[in-house]
Structure 1
Amino acid sequence: MSNLLYTIAVILVFFWALGFFAYNLGSIIHILLVIAIIAVLLRLIQGKKL
């Protein structure tokens, strides 16, 4: 389950970067970034190692 959370966070950051540099979709891209950051923070707070 924790690997899935980390994978989703990485995918969201990738899509954010892609959208930010290529498509400029506006606020939706920043929402994806915030979700990815929250997912990574939850993983760090849980204290599980990679």
Structure 2
Amino acid sequence: MGSILYIIAVVLVIGWLLGFFVYSLGAIIHVLLVLAVIAILLAIIRGAA
């Protein structure tokens, strides 16, 4: 389960970077970043527990 969260987080960060630097879609890109950070935090918390 943890590796799936990392994969999702990486995909979301890459999507955010592409959108931020290439497409500049605005708020949607920042939502992707927030989702990626949440996924990483969940993976870290679940891994530590």
TM over 0.5: yes
> One-letter code of the match for 1:35?
L
1:21 and 1:38 map into 2 onto residues whose CA distance is: 22
Gap regions ≥5 residues in structure 1: none
8 A contact 2:2–2:47 mirrored in 1: no
Question: Per residue, is there more helix in 1 or in 2?
Answer: 2
Gap regions ≥5 residues in structure 2: none
**Length-normalised TM-score, structure 1:** 0.90
Moved over 2 A (4+): none
* Overall identity of the aligned pairs, in %: 60
Q: Offset of 1:14 from its aligned partner? A: 0.2
* Matched residues, number: 48
In structure 1, the partner of 2:2 is: 2
When the two chains are superposed, the root-mean-square deviation of aligned CA atoms in Å is 0.9
